Chains A and B, each alone.
Chain A
């Protein structure tokens, strides 16, 4: 057993991989091993994995319905039956927080899927071509970048109408310019490198160079940045929910829950506090994981100390 494990480790860390597959797995293994040495990153990873699991099994984990309550039980403090208490409609807050993970996760994933590739492509194209393409794309990016994120998202939601999908679109539209800026700055550092000149000389098209040679080099910094931004995205989504422009009742969105609990914050503190805890823990998880990821993927940016 242990001999077999040693062989697997040797196989993964071999300096002379025999196949493409072994080379890729080996790189992944080295990355995972470096990440596992960072305890805070592992805490972040645990939080994220827990979020994924809770979201996947929400209907089985939640003890009560997230949308239907018993009015006789309204505003009960935390107890053995209602671990986080109940809200003003007698709904179990724990069940709502558990179901809320799905909404949070959906927002985070959709924003990442829309904003990161958009920003990455914009930045890579601008940086690679330079000249008027760069000025045009970056001018466009700067317009979005110069407006405060929440205000811009508010404006979009106001125009598109409240709702979770529109909130996602609004946040994605406000999130991509940062990735474009980072990707462009990164591309400029190796735009004139000889390995780019070499592939140009081989007759590769600009799109091939951007797609296969330029973007892979920007990928790690973008992944790090997206992970670090997750906390901000969750907070923006919660902010929109709090202002009544995100998820609509009776959806158990954490920001909207805090908003509802605001009226009772002095006497029934748990109504607003419990979803607040959830937001803090998940945001912190993404931050810690992103920090660890940066140390592994982007050694140049490593935080000092």
Chain B
């Protein structure tokens, strides 16, 4: 479903990614783990065309991507951002936000779809005409997830979807994501620095450090604290999983 080969990204003179390769199968949930600055978010940005200047090969849902050209893959891939406070338009109601992708693609039956999606992400229907500032962080993140799912994509890119939320709310959102994935057969590519999240939500993971993949492993290895690379063990120790 996602195939990245030898991806190199430079911001000016600094090389952020050094020939990163990874492959995610359909229906799989894959995690990119690393500290901030390790380049994990850059991979997502390159995949959705937010970063133009990259080298290598990337295939997404069967479409080869070209640098500098935004592929029209809106109905295949969508993204959930880290900060639920910055990812919703401050002047648009929940309804506006959810109906917008349908309007862009000329999809009919907007009212029914919006209501069905509110139910699917566990938001009460009475929130439909609220503005973002009338919602809590967890509720906003539910709206962001709902927005990403409006076009029924097959791949969902998750950029630290819970790190800006309260611990209790994090669990709710993770459960929601897990449920949605099972229900809709989604492929996840998750970026995080939180190993327990990986262990809960993912099948496989890759450890990134300074723009290189240190190690790729199945989540069972992570649960057994069996990461081989020195950096992987360091991460394990820091998150208290050893």
Determine the distance from Cα of A217 to Cα of B100 in the docked complex, in whole angstroms: 16
Q: Is the CB of A198 within 8 A of B79?
A: yes
Name B126's contact: one of A16, A27, A194, A208 (CB within 8 Å). A16
Determine the distance from Cα of A203 to Cα of B104 in the docked complex, in whole angstroms: 7
Say yes or no: A203-B72 contact (C-beta < 8 A), given A194-B87, A197-B81, A213-B89: yes
Q: Is the CB of A15 within 8 A of B134?
A: yes
Say yes or no: A20-B95 contact (C-beta < 8 A), given A197-B50, A201-B48: yes
Name B151's contact: one of A23, A202, A213, A217 (CB within 8 Å). A202
Q: How many A residues, CB 8 Å from partner?
A: 25
What's the minimum C-beta distance from B127 to chain A, rounded to whole angstroms?
7
Closest to B144 in A: A198
B108 within 8 A of A: no
B83 within 8 A of A: yes
Q: Is the CB of A19 within 8 A of B74?
A: no
Closest to A199 in B: B100
User: Which chain A residues border B88 with CB–CB below 8 Å?
Assistant: 195
- Complex interface bits, A183-203 against B, C-beta within 8 A gives 1, otherwise 0: 000000000011101111111
B window 103-162: CB within 8 A of A: 104-105, 126-127, 129-131, 134, 144, 147-148, 151
Determine the distance from Cα of A18 to Cα of B127 in the docked complex, in whole angstroms: 9
A28 within 8 A of B: no
What's the minimum C-beta distance from A39 to chain B, rounded to whole angstroms?
27
Where chain A touches its partner, the secondary structure class is helix
Q: Is the CB of B129 within 8 A of A193?
A: no
Say yes or no: A202-B130 contact (C-beta < 8 A), given A23-B93, A193-B86: no
Where chain B touches its partner, the secondary structure class is loop
Determine the distance from Cα of A204 to Cα of B99 in the docked complex, in whole angstroms: 13
Determine the distance from Cα of A217 to Cα of B92 in the docked complex, in whole angstroms: 10
A window 253-299: CB within 8 A of B: none
Determine the distance from Cα of A194 to Cα of B45 in the docked complex, in whole angstroms: 12
Q: Is the CB of B83 within 8 A of A204?
A: no
Q: Is the CB of B87 within 8 A of A20?
A: no
B67 within 8 A of A: no
Q: Is the CB of A195 within 8 A of B95?
A: no
User: Which chain A residues border B95 with CB–CB below 8 Å?
Assistant: 20
User: Which chain B residues border A200 with CB–CB below 8 Å?
Assistant: 70
Say yes or no: A194-B81 contact (C-beta < 8 A), given A16-B126, A203-B72: yes
B78 within 8 A of A: yes
- Complex interface bits, A13-25 against B, C-beta within 8 A gives 1, otherwise 0: 0011111101100
Determine the distance from Cα of A175 to Cα of B129 in the docked complex, in whole angstroms: 37
User: Which chain A residues border B19 with CB–CB below 8 Å?
Assistant: none
What's the minimum C-beta distance from B118 to chain A, rounded to whole angstroms?
12
Give me the 5 closest cross-chain CB pairs, A-B, nearest first.
Answer: A203-B74, A16-B126, A23-B129, A194-B87, A17-B129
9 A/B residue pairs, CB under 8 Å, sorted by A:
A17-B130, A23-B93, A193-B86, A195-B87, A199-B89, A200-B70, A203-B75, A213-B92, A217-B90
Residues of A within 8 A of B (CB): 15-20, 22-23, 27, 193-195, 197-204, 208, 212-213, 216-217
